[in-house]
Every structure is written in structure tokens, then in C-alpha cells.
Amino acid sequence: MIHNKLIIYLSVLGLFSAFGCTDLEENVLDEQLGGDLINNPANIESLINPPYGSLRRTIEWYDYWALQEVSTDEVIVPTRGTDWYDNGAWMELHRHTWTSDHVRMKNVWDALNQGVSRANTAIYYIGQFAQNATSEQYINEARFLRAYFMYLINDLFGQVPFREADDLDFSTTPMVMDRRTAADFIIEEITAVMPKLKTKAEVGSERVTVEAAHALLAKIYLNYEVYTGEAKWADAIAHCNDLINAGVFTVADDYWTMFQKDVAEHSEFIFRVPMDDTVDMGSGSVWVNFTLHYAQVFGNITSTWNGPSTTKTFFETWDMVNDVRFYDGRIKNQTGFNQGFLHGQQYGLDGTALKQRNGQPLIFVPEINLSSAPENAGIRVVKFAPNPATERQFSSPNDVPIMRISDIYLIRAEAKLRNNDASGALADINFIRSKRSAAGKTLPALTSVTLDDILKERGYELYWEGLRRQDLIRFGKFTEAYQEKPVTDASKQLFPLPTSATDVNENLKQNPGY
């Protein structure tokens, strides 16, 4: 019987000895949980990289770029039979019939807020290190980048949620800045960091510089009236003057040099997003694949999508003969097509006339029916030259300028004109036009300048560079009719806040009209 008791005792012990044999702590094997990584001053480079990385999202054609361009007269993405309907996303953007459930708006909201958050992370964690010149530079760069992403959010949505960098409790509901508060906050931030930033001469235009700060301030002051109802033309002009007079930048004598495949630094560039088709950057705009017809393949570019085109409305504003910005043929021997506008019969690299899939000749025409267009409808645009030998055909080989000096001249021209200095404006615009002529092509100088001329010039100079919506709104033309788009309500000048954002943050109030 003792035997039995012993066994009972042992098995009860066995039964419960496993108590506390594990604390069920989760042991993560394939990820670093942070602590050591993020608190190590040796990783300071790695902390400033992420907000820069987020800049690449702003040049993805289907994200931020699409909101600023497809909603305007510069870009139209027609449904072509069973291609490109895509849940109505492109038609809604073009016709201004979007709703708060539009997937592109949600994606852009998320991407830009991610930029803000990544900047915050950099500001906070670099701020925890022992400070030196580098850490101060990086914190200032991060503050600039945060302001830049907030500026984009403010421009699109008119409201900006905000957390301080040291707010790491993400369960709290962030406060929300209205459009004016946000604009002022951004100006204040940039003004505060500007004196401490490096110059382009020191770090190049791929990093945040004092010049980039001037340029961003010029842009915000230019749009300040739209944001707040109050004009600040003189401030815009002042920052343009700082940039133009600094002597760092020169307007290119050859417009198309900025858009070639292997260009990195350029005399026009104030702030650029470096891209490379040899490494995985997590993104890469497909500047040629998305617009070219299926038959327009060359080199390793074998997948083309026959998508975005430009509108007849915009196409017909051009001086097609004299403006070098309309056409450039230097890549034709590698691709079969030109840079600029692609219209009429298209040819392959070997000179054969290309055909549509149905056997008809491939002739690009400006007539487009948005909801059902044939394959050849729409004038195509190639601004950035592709790399035919690329091994990553969906990555962009081109560094993309998001601020450049020609834009600054045109901002100054516009601000001067609006500030009743027509002659100053005329001088700036004619300076740009004089640079856009070439052998055998003379773009005539203007003899007088109107706001309309400035908008047109901005279109010629900056088309497909992601600025059109902002420009149209400033000139009061966003709601007007253009090809395949009726007159729309003024409320469309702000995008709706995505449902996913208003669902979780009650401080966000949906914009009027949605």
C-alpha cells in the first residue's frame, strides 16, 4: 500500500510539476524587436533613411502622382474594353466622382502619414543619442521631411493629424490641424530648421538642404491663399529670390537632359528623389511601361500596359513645332519612340509601323471615350527616358526632381503677376521660354503676360511632374470642364478623408461635400 501512495504522490507531482515550466514569453526568431537596434548610435544612418525612403512613394505613378495628375487635364486613364476599369478608380479620379472609399486616396493617406511617422521616429530616437553635428543635421532633415509630408497631406485633404515625436503610445487619438493651422505649423517648422540645414554644395540635392527649404516655403506661400484665404505673394517672391540669386542653380540649356536615364545631379535640381533600376528600393515608377501600347516593347522592356494618356484639351494647348518640350528624338534609336508626346502612327525600333492587337495600325489619336476607348485612343507621354537594358523593367532608372529651379522662376512670375508686377512676371516667363528653344526651333517670347499664360507655361514646363492639380486649383480651373470631364463642384478641390481614417480618429471631420 505504501507503494501505491508513493505512486499517487509521484504522479500528482508529475501532473503539476509542469506548472510554471514556461512563462509563455514570445520568442521571436526572425525579427529584431527593436531595443538594441534602434537605440544604437552606430545606426544613426539607418534611422534617417526611412523618411527619405517614403519620398519614393510620392513619385509612384499610381499613388500621390495619380491624385495630382489623373484628376486634371494632363492625364486621362480610359477604360479600354476589359482593360483598365480597375473598379472605376481612374474614371472616378478623372470625372471627380470619387468617394471616401476610393482605394487610391486611402493608399496615399497611409503612405504620407507613414512618412510623417518615420520622420517622427527618426527625430525621437536620434534625439536620444548623445548629440553631435551629424545627429543635429539628421534631426533637422527629419523635421523638414515631416513638414514636407504634412504639406502634401494638407494640400490633398485639408486636414493633418499630428503627434509629437515623443508620443509613442499609438493607442491615443492624435490631434488634428485644420488647413490654416497646418500651413502655419509647416512654415514655422521649416523656418526654424532652415538656418541649420546644409547646402546643396555640401550634400547634394538628394538630401534636404537650405535651398530645398526655401523652395518649399515658396510653394507654400504661393498656395497660401488657397489654404487660408490670405495671400502671401511677397513671401513667395522673397524665397524665390533667395534661390535664384544664390547662383547655385541654372536653368538647363537642354531641357531633356534632366529626364535622361543616367542623370543624377543636375544644375536645375533643388530636391530630387534618387532612383536606380539596379537595386530593390521597394518601389519604382514605371514611367514608360504604364503609358506605352502593348506593341511598344524594346530591349528588356517587354511588358507595357497601354494606360495613361493625356487629354485632347491639354494636347491642343501646345506649340507643337517650336517648343522643345513637346518632342525630343534622342532615344528613338534605342526605343523606337520619342520623348515628349507620342501621337500618330507609332513605329518599332526597326522602323516597322506598329499594329494594334486587332491588326489595325497603331495610330495614337486624341479622341477618347473615358468609359470605353479603343487601344489606340489617347496621346501618350514619355517624360523620363527608360533604360532598355534594364534588368528590372518596373524600376525607374531616373532620379526624379520634385523641386527644380524652372518651377521657382515660374512661381516667382506668378507671384509677381498676382502681386501686380506684370513686367517682372514677363521677364521671368520669357527667361524660361528663351531656354526652351533650340536649333531650328524658336519659341517666341511673350509680349504680355496673363495668369492664363502662366498656367499654360507651367503646363509646358512641368507636365506630368505631379503638380497639375495644385496649379489648376490655384488658377480656379480645376472644376472646369475638360475632355471627358464636366464642370464639377468646388468641394472637389479637396479630396475626401478616407473612411479608414475617419473610422478611427473622431477628431477628423469629413470635408464638406462628401
Partner 1 sequence: MMRLSLFFFLAGTFTVLGESYSQGTRLSLNLDKVTIKQVFNEIERNSEFIIVYSDDILDVSEEVSMQVKDSPVERILDQLFASSPVGYQIKDRQIVITRKTQNEILGIIQQPVNQISGKVFDEKGDPLPGVSVAVKGTTTGTITDFNGSFKLVIPEGGEVLQFSFVGFRPQEINVGSQKVFNVKLAEDIMELEEIVAVGYGIQRKSDLTGATSRLTEENMNKAIATSPIEMMQGRVSGVNIIQNNGEPGSGMSVRIRGSNSIRSGQEPLYVIDGIPLDNADVTPTGGSAAGYGSGAEKNPISFLNAEDIESIDILKDASSTAIYGARGANGVVIITTKKGKQGRSSISYDGYTGVSQIREKLDLLSAEEFRSYAKADGSKLLDLGASVDWQDEIYSTGITQSHNLSFSGGTENFTYHASVGYLDQEGIVKSTEQEKLNGKINVTQKAFDGRLNLTGSLIASHIIDNRAPITEASGSGYEGDLILTALKTNPTYPIFNEDGSYYQHAKDQRNAVAMLNLVDDEALTDRILANISAEYEIIKNLKYKLNVGFDRTVAERRVNQDKQLTYLANKGEADINTVNANNRLIENYMTYLTKIGADHSFNFLAGHAYQFFKVSGTETNVNGFEVDDIKYTDNLQYGNFSTADVSSFAYERELQSFFGRVNYGYKDKYLFTFTGRFDGSSKFGENKKYGFFPSAAFAWRISDEEFMKGDGKLSNLKFRLGWGLTGNQEIPDKISLLAVGTTPSANGYFDGNLTPGITFLRTPNPDIQWETTVQTNIGIDFGFFDNRLYGTLDVFNKKTKDVLLEVPAKAPSATQTQWQNVPDLEIKNNGVELGMSGMLINNKTASWELGFNISYIKNEVQNLPVKLIETGNASGQGLSDTRVQVITNGEPVGTFYGMVWEGFDDDGMSVYKMDENDVAVKEPIGSALPDYTYSINSKFRYKRFDVSMFWYGSQGNEVYNNTANTLFLKGPLDKGNNVIKEVLHSDENPENSNAFSSRFIEDASFLRLSNVTLGYSFNVESIKWLESARIYVTGNNLLLFTDYSGYDPEVNVAADQNGVPSMGIDYTAYPKPRTFTFGVNLQF
CB of 368 to partner 1, least distance (A): 12
Residue 28 or 439: the one with the smaller Cβ distance to partner 1 is 28
At its nearest, how many Å lie between partner 1 and the CB of residue 54? 7
- What length is written for the chain? 514
For residue 401, what are the β-bridge partners?
A: 272
- Measure the CA–CA gap between 140 and 194, rounded to whole angstroms: 8
Choose between 52 and 129: whose C-beta lies nearer to partner 1. 52
Quick one: 206 or 453, whose CB is closer to partner 1? 206
Between 346 and 406, name the residue whose CB sits nearer to partner 1.
346
Residue 499: all three cell numbers together: 473612411
State in angstroms the smallest separation of the CB of 474 from partner 1: 27
Give the up-direction half-sphere exposure of residue 446: CA atoms within 13 A in the CB hemisphere.
22
Closer of 34 and 229 to partner 1 (Cβ): 34
d(CA 373, CA 243): 45
Cβ at position 282, least distance to partner 1 in Å = 3
Report in angstroms the alpha-carbon separations of 361 from 129, 293, 344, 355, 368. Answer: 64, 12, 10, 4, 17
- Least spacing, CB of residue 294 vs partner 1, in Å: 8
What is the spatial distance between Cα 188 and Cα 406, in angstroms, rounded to a whole number? Answer: 25
Which is closer to partner 1, CB of 280 or CB of 350? 280
The full DSSP string for 228-272 is HS---HHHHHHHHHHHHHHS-----SSGGGGGSTT--S-TTEEEE
Report how far residue 474's alpha carbon sits from residue 226's, in angstroms, rounded to the nearest whole number. 6
CB of 291 to partner 1, least distance (A): 16
**d(Cα 501, Cα 259) in Å, to the nearest integer?**
36
* Coil, helix or strand at residue 474: helix
Q: From the CB of 369, what's the least distance to partner 1, in Å?
A: 8
